[in-house]
């Protein structure tokens, strides 16, 4: 299950968004060495504005494990602002009212169990499903070439927009992804995903529960969605956040490690307390308020 | 009198097509040429050709053509396993014997592949520009991904009907409600390879959609749901 974060509900995700920007800094700046603006340890750029939409997944401790930014392109886009040379001019304009851009994608989850695959497939489906619901026909992206076959394997219908191009320390390529009912249906069927595969929480005055508790409660109302919730783990360890896991990012590049970033969970999964007990599936982790 | 002709402006500019009926100008007099020119067609990029190569031979040809544009003379795909290398396919098998020399460059495969493939290419006579290096690296990644998928697909079993064993299993389990990803995993192939198997099944059955393929295979008794050798 992915959480959709927009301007409307961003206040609910204040801690999670800070976590996202901190992890982005670790992934893209510290590890990949990209020259990106960093403010107070957070990697935030000009595209992180009110129009940006984020698809985030969390582990059982409430930490961001997958994330990507989707944004309309009718004003500007990273692909055409930063990598215009990567697009073959014969394609004509690649941005517009029916085109969104997907950037800063990263995946810290791995594993070959059906549950792992399902969660990663949801990260691929959610932007298409969400964009389709907003009248979008294409998503554009610029990613390291090595990630393109992975994206195709996850069901994205990719159309290359140019030749491989050097950027930073890697080789990237511009492409666009078809957004259509047929594309959504195919990914959903191939990976056995629920409808919808994401939750978009609305601000609810007076509701003191955190976003994870609310999302877990909602997930149990949607057939199949609860199966994509993060799996409970016994407590948490102060080891590297990606220990043993292959992390990847896009607009982007494969993540070769997180540089030893310690895990900092805020909550623990409480397996003995389900929605029937008021949705208190989360409890504070030791040492955290 | 010279041969009559129809003159038509096409995507590549002016072309002349012989026509015995007489000279016909398709562009009306007084119309500015710019208002008559059709937009450029969508370009077919070398990367897209690599990603859609239907078989190993086509993949080899397409990479050879792409590399020739970059001044690279030949290539060979090799497989790494258990500390040894096996030559697989390419247009320059002799590279295998020279693989440890400075005449050969080695490009490692991408992420998420079930077997480790590498591409050996003949080192260019003159240093490549940064942009050309990026194209070489990028096309190699797309080539290796497609090569891995085609190798997965090649390891299939023909049966007594137009469908292969995997196609029958994939369609059968689709009817039984199993996600493609789970069936692919049980068969030991990637989701991309499974998807490609299904895509190939459509023309084999003369249908347009997967649902029609399931229906036709079901009518003919070709569906397989259980395959004990794969644990299904």
Strands A138-144 and A99-107: parallel
Confidence at A250, pLDDT banded by 50, 70, 90: very low
pLDDT tens, position by position, B158-207: 999 999 999 999 999 999 999 999 999 999 999 999 999 999 999 999 99
- Both B31 and B97 in a single domain? no
Tell whether B186 is covered by a domain.
yes
Binary contact (B191, A155; C-beta < 8 A): yes
Average pLDDT over residues A103-130: 91
Chain B interface includes A169 (CB < 8 A): no
Q: Which positions in chain A touch B46 (Cβ < 8 Å)?
A: 163
- Both B144 and B50 in a single domain? yes
- Both B23 and B109 in a single domain? no
Q: Is the ipTM of this complex over 0.95?
A: no
Query: What tokens were used for B21?
Result: 């009926």
- Both B54 and B124 in a single domain? yes
pLDDT tens, position by position, B86-120: 999 999 999 999 999 999 999 998 776 778 999 99
Residue B114 near residue B65, CB atoms below 8 Å: no
- Both B147 and B53 in a single domain? yes
Question: Domain residues for B223?
Answer: 165-230
- B195: domain CATH number? 1.10.10.10
pLDDT tens, position by position, B40-65: 677 889 999 999 999 999 999 999 99
Characterize B59-80 residue by residue with b for buried, 16 or more Cβ atoms within 10 angstroms of its Cβ, and e for exposed: bbebbbebbeebebbbbbbbbe
Ordered by start, the domain boundaries in chain A are 2-284
Characterize A212-231 residue by residue with b for buried, 16 or more Cβ atoms within 10 angstroms of its Cβ, and e for exposed: bbbbbbbbbeeeebbebbbe
Cα separations in angstroms, A178 against B90, B96, B194: 32, 40, 20
Of A61, A69, A62, which Cα lies nearest the Cα of A43? A69
- Both B20 and B51 in a single domain? no
Residue A247 near residue A141, CB atoms below 8 Å: no
Query: What tokens were used for A250?
Result: 């896009």
- Both B150 and B170 in a single domain? no
pLDDT tens, position by position, B112-139: 677 899 999 999 888 999 999 999 999 9
Q: What is the dihedral of CA A156, A228, A263, A148, to 10 degrees?
A: -10
- What's the pLDDT score for residue A109? 87
Q: Which positions in chain A touch B178 (Cβ < 8 Å)?
A: 192
The three-class DSSP label of residue A12 is helix
CB atoms closer than 10 angstroms to residue B196: 18
Q: Which positions in chain B touch A148 (Cβ < 8 Å)?
A: 141-142, 145
- What's the pLDDT score for residue B30? 54
Distance CA A20, CA B93 (A): 48
Query: What tokens were used for A245?
Result: 């896991």
User: Would you tell me which CATH number, out of the four given (2.60.40.10, 3.40.630.30, 3.40.50.2300, 3.40.50.1950), belongs to the domain A2-284?
Assistant: 3.40.630.30
Tell whether B85 is covered by a domain.
yes
Binary contact (B110, A146; C-beta < 8 A): yes
pLDDT surpassing 70 at residue A74? yes
Confidence at B36, pLDDT banded by 50, 70, 90: low
Query: What tokens were used for A85?
Result: 């040379």
- Both B174 and B217 in a single domain? yes
Distance CA A86, CA A164 (A): 7
Using a cut of 0.90, tell me whether the model's pTM lies above it: no
Please identify, among B124, B154, B184, the residue that sits at the C-terminal boundary of a domain.
B154
Could you tell me which residue, B179 or B17, shows the higher pLDDT? Answer: B179
Distance CA B119, CA A24 (A): 32
- To test the contact with chain B by mutation, choose from A183, A190, A191 the residue with the greatest count of B C-beta atoms within 10 A, namely A190
Chain B interface includes A181 (CB < 8 A): no
Average pLDDT over residues A35-60: 95
Distance CA B39, CA A68 (A): 35
Chain A interface includes B145 (CB < 8 A): yes
- Both B25 and B90 in a single domain? no
Chain A interface includes B191 (CB < 8 A): yes
- Both B132 and B84 in a single domain? yes
Q: Work out how many domains chain B is built from and give that number.
A: 3
- Both B144 and B194 in a single domain? no
Tell whether B160 is covered by a domain.
no
| A206 torsion bin: left (phi>0), alpha (psi -120 to 50), beta (else) | left
Chain A interface includes B195 (CB < 8 A): yes
- Both B29 and B57 in a single domain? no
Binary contact (A163, B145; C-beta < 8 A): no
Q: Give φ, ψ of A162 to 5 degrees.
A: -175, -170
């Amino acid at each position: 299950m992915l959480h959709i974060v927009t301007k409307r509900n961003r206040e609910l995700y204040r801690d999670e968004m800070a976590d996202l920007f901190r992890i982005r800094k670790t992934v893209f700046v510290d590890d990949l060495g990209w020259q990106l603006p960093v403010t107070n340890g957070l990697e935030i750029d000009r595209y992180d504005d009110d129009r940006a939409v984020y698809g985030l997944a969390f582990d059982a401790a409430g930490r961001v494990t997958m994330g990507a930014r989707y944004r309309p392109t009718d004003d500007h886009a990273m692909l055409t602002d930063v990598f215009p040379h990567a697009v073959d001019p014969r394609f004509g304009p690649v941005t517009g009212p029916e085109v969104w851009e997907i950037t800063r994608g990263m995946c810290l989850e791995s594993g070959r169990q059906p549950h792992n695959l399902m969660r990663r497939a949801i990260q691929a489906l959610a932007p298409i499903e969400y964009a389709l619901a907003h009248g979008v026909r294409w998503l554009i992206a610029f990613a390291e070439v090595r990630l393109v076959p992975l994206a195709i394997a996850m069901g994205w219908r990719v159309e290359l927009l140019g030749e491989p191009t050097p950027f930073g320390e890697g080789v990237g390529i511009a492409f666009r992804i078809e957004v259509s009912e047929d594309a959504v249906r195919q990914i959903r069927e191939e990976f056995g995903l629920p409808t919808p595969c994401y939750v978009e929480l609305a601000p609810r005055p007076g509701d003191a529960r955190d976003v994870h508790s609310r999302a877990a409660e909602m997930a149990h109302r949607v057939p199949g969605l609860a199966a994509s919730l993060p799996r409970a783990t016994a407590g948490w360890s102060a080891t590297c956040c990606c220990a043993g896991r292959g992390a990847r990012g896009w607009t982007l590049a494969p993540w070769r490690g997180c540089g030893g970033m310690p895990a900092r969970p805020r909550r623990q999964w409480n397996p003995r307390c389900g929605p029937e007990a008021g949705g208190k599936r989360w409890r504070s982790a030791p040492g955290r308020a | 009198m010279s041969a009559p002709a129809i003159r038509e402006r096409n995507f590549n500019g002016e072309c002349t097509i012989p026509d015995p009926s007489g000279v016909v100008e398709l562009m009306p007099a007084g119309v500015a040429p710019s208002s008559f020119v059709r937009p450029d067609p969508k370009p077919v990029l070398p990367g897209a050709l690599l990603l859609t190569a239907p078989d190993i031979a086509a993949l080899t040809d397409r990479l050879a053509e792409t590399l020739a544009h970059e001044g690279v003379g030949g290539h060979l795909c090799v497989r790494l396993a258990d500390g040894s290398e096996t030559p697989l396919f390419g247009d320059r098998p002799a590279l295998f014997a020279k693989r440890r020399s400075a005449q050969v460059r080695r490009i490692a495969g991408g992420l998420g592949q079930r077997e480790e493939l590498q591409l050996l290419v003949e080192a260019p006579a003159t240093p490549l520009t940064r942009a050309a290096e990026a194209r070489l690296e990028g096309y190699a990644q797309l080539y290796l991904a497609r090569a891995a998928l085609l190798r997965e697909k090649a390891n299939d079993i023909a049966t007594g009907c137009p469908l292969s064993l995997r196609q029958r299993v994939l369609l059968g389990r689709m009817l039984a409600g199993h996600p493609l990803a789970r069936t692919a995993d049980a068969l030991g192939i990637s989701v991309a390879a499974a998807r490609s198997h299904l895509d190939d099944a459509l023309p084999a059955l003369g249908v347009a959609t997967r649902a029609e393929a399931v229906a036709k295979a079901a009518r003919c008794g070709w569906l397989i749901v259980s395959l004990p050798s794969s644990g299904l």
